[in-house]
Amino acid sequence: MKFSYKRKSEKKLKKWLGRKKFVLVLIIVKDYFRAERKAAQLSENGVDEKDALSRQTVADGKINMEIISNWKEEKVRGFLLKNNLPAMVPLCDGINGEELSTLYAMCKANPASMYRSLKFELLHGHHRILPISTFLRFVSRMRVVCDDVLASNAHSGKKTHDNQPPDDE
């Protein structure tokens, strides 16, 4: 199913929202319908979308979900690059897994404010732009790593964060 709209409605919406907000709305709508198509394809095959993403990520060896708090700086950088988040690399330079998890918690608690903060830091500190799609992908990938693991461990009775020092790998 392709998203379509009337030109007249587009002009009214653009006038009401303003150009920047209108472009953001179009991006969000486009991403929504893309996600819907993907979910429909997966459900036709009898696969839950989150389950498929989790299994693919674990199968690819991209994420060792249970020990994100033990990730070193190199593992954080590798995670960002493997998940197509190169714009986030300068922002996360020098942080470990526990700090990455904290960054995600901040993004989850106040996404609009965090997007503005990260965009400002990247623009003024590194002269690069942080696209909203990259920010949303970061939150999405971190949700798979953090929230889904917490939920699955809560059901199985596992602890996700031990107070033990990380093993040297």
Name, in order, each residue with C-beta under 8 angstroms of 161's C-beta and a sequence gap of 6 or more: 69
Helix (H) or strand (E) holding 148: helix 147-156
Task: Band the pLDDT of 59: cuts 50, 70, 90.
Answer: very low
Burial 91-121 (b: 16+ CB within 10 A, else e): bbeebbbeebbebbeebeeeeeebbeebbee
- Which region among 2-11, 26-35, 52-61, 78-87 has the lowest average model confidence (pLDDT)? 52-61
pLDDT above 90 (res 38): no
Model pTM? 0.53
Is the CB of residue 96 less than 8 Å from the CB of residue 73? yes
pLDDT above 80 (res 98): yes
Condensed to tens digits (0 to 9), the pLDDT of residues 14-37 reads 676 666 566 655 666 666 666 677
Contacts 24+ apart (CB under 8 A), 62-69: 63/144, 63/145, 65/145, 65/148, 65/149, 66/149, 66/153, 66/158, 66/160, 67/97, 67/166, 68/97, 68/98, 68/100, 68/101, 68/145, 68/146, 68/149, 69/97, 69/98, 69/101, 69/160, 69/161, 69/166
**Which one, of 148, 160, 133, lies nearest residue 49 by Cα?**
148
What pLDDT shows up at residue 137?
Answer: 96
> Mean pLDDT over all residues of the chain?
74
Tell me which amino acid residue 149 is.
Answer: V
**Mean pLDDT throughout 91-100?**
94
Torsion sign, CA atoms 34, 37, 40, 44: negative
- Which region among 32-41, 61-70, 105-114 has the lowest average model confidence (pLDDT)? 61-70
Task: Band the pLDDT of 71: cuts 50, 70, 90.
Answer: very high
